[in-house]
A and B are shown apart, each in its own frame.
Chain A
Amino acid sequence: MYHSKDFYEILSSELVATTGGIISGTLLAIFTDKIFLIPGLFILLPGFLQLKGAIAGTLAARLGTELLLKKIKPGKKSRLITENNIASFILIFFVSLVLGVTAYFITFLLFNENHPVLMLIPLVAALLSSIILFPLTTKLTIWLYKNHHNPDNVMGPYVTSLGDIESILALLIAVVVLT
């Protein structure tokens, strides 16, 4: 059966991404004692994992479109790249704060657990992991385009894979530091 280059790009990147997800799950399984330290962390976890993917994924999609439309040229400095990165940092700061506050109130109102530290955990963890994730996403998107791959097919899965592993590690560090 014939499959296009796009199919193999999506398949290979998805297998890498899900392996990243399994590594994150294994980290969760190893550090279950840390997760149990903060009731309500499971309310936070899915939103936190998807937040990194959504913001970095959007960053990669925007850069991918701009590369394909030749608005950004690989190897050349571009204001578009800097502005895209700054916007991503501002977005992650505000959205992780909202996520923390939401998780705190849900835990407090539905499960009768009062842990204000829940508001700070996603903020600290998001800032920790974004320092690596956003510059890496930018470099990888440009590198893929330069090497004749379509960033649209590959970047989404890579971003979520990297984001998942980084996020779980950053979250565990934030839990240890803040509790």
Chain B
Amino acid sequence: MNLETKIIKESLVVLILVSIISALGGIGIQIVKEKIFMILPLLILFPALNGMVGNFGAIFASRYTTLLYQKKLGRKKFMNKALKEVYFQVLKVSIIAAFYISTLSSVVSMIKGFEFDPLLYMKILIVTVLTTVFLVTIISLVSISAGGYFANKKEDPDNLLIPITTAIADFGTMIIFSLLVFFVL
């Protein structure tokens, strides 16, 4: 089997499932669309938040795969020292990035003429931080479990883990984001 066929065979079904899951997650956004358009920082924040959690999934998954191929994962512990280090690095960055996007979207909104509300800013900040911390943890656990499973099946985790983690990230982000917009704002 040549490489193109192998990649397509291993990735196509997962990617199709991921895009369908994302479209289903998009229903939540479609329902709260009017509110997102009314509260400008939310609209500006949305692609950054959506991509950010997916990025952490991609980083964790690709670092996991490299450690796996370099035979640095070990067999006994679910999360050994090397993997723990990666998890805490990603977690720390996620908190800083959540603060950054909440602040930057509020600043851009102000420049575009949207009135700054400290309470609204705090709500957006808290939920963004909690969303990222929660999802980074879930993604890490899924990456380790699924990565081990794919490696045992002799499939390349690189082709499967990133689509899976980004799907969880996107779907989770959209659901939490939609709920926040619906109930809190």
Asked, given contacts A90-B8, A160-B51, whether A61 binds B46 with beta carbons under 8 Å apart, the answer is no
Query: Which single member of B12, B43, B169 contacts A25 (CB below 8 Å)?
Result: B43
B59-67, B73-81, B119-127, B143-151 - the one binding chain A = B59-67
CA–CA, A55 to B54, complex, Å? Answer: 12
Interface size on A, residues (CB 8 A): 71
Q: Do residues A18 and B97 form an inter-chain contact, with CB atoms below 8 A?
A: yes
Asked, given contacts A14-B55, A157-B59, whether A44 binds B47 with beta carbons under 8 Å apart, the answer is no
Q: Judge if B129 is at the interface, Cβ distance under 8 Å.
A: no
Q: Judge if A75 is at the interface, Cβ distance under 8 Å.
A: no
Q: Which label, helix, strand, loop or mixed, suits the secondary structure of the B interface? A: helix
CA–CA, A87 to B156, complex, Å? Answer: 15
Q: Which residues of A contact B96 (CB under 8 A)?
A: 11, 14-15
Q: Judge if B44 is at the interface, Cβ distance under 8 Å.
A: yes
Asked, given contacts A57-B162, A161-B51, whether A50 binds B63 with beta carbons under 8 Å apart, the answer is no
Taking CB atoms and an 8 Å cut-off, the chain A residues in 14-52 that contact chain B are 14-15, 17-22, 24-26, 28-29, 32, 40, 42-47, 49-51
CA–CA, A18 to B90, complex, Å? Answer: 14
Q: Judge if A95 is at the interface, Cβ distance under 8 Å.
A: yes
Interface size on B, residues (CB 8 A): 69
Q: Do residues B3 and A80 form an inter-chain contact, with CB atoms below 8 A?
A: yes
Q: Do residues A25 and B26 form an inter-chain contact, with CB atoms below 8 A?
A: no
Asked, given contacts A46-B29, A62-B158, whether A152 binds B66 with beta carbons under 8 Å apart, the answer is yes
Q: Which residues of B contact A42 (CB under 8 A)?
A: 26, 29-30, 33
Q: Do residues B92 and A7 form an inter-chain contact, with CB atoms below 8 A?
A: yes
Count of A-B contacts with CB under 8 A? 240
Q: Do residues A17 and B20 form an inter-chain contact, with CB atoms below 8 A?
A: no
Q: Do residues B52 and A17 form an inter-chain contact, with CB atoms below 8 A?
A: yes
Closest to B60 in A: A156
Q: Judge if B140 is at the interface, Cβ distance under 8 Å.
A: no
Q: Do residues B55 and A61 form an inter-chain contact, with CB atoms below 8 A?
A: no
B residues contacting A by CB (< 8 A) are: 2-4, 7-8, 11-12, 15-16, 18-20, 22-27, 29-30, 33, 37, 40, 43-52, 54-56, 58-59, 61-63, 65-66, 69-70, 85-86, 89-90, 92-93, 96-97, 100-101, 104-105, 108, 112, 156, 158-159, 162-163, 166-167, 169-170, 174
A residues contacting B by CB (< 8 A) are: 4, 6-7, 10-11, 14-15, 17-22, 24-26, 28-29, 32, 40, 42-47, 49-51, 53-55, 57-58, 60-62, 64-65, 68-69, 79-80, 83-84, 86-88, 90-91, 94-96, 98-99, 102-103, 106, 110-111, 152-153, 155-157, 159-161, 163-164, 168
Given contacts A29-B44, A49-B47, 6 further A-B contacts (CB under 8 A): A15-B100, A17-B55, A24-B47, A65-B66, A87-B11, A153-B63
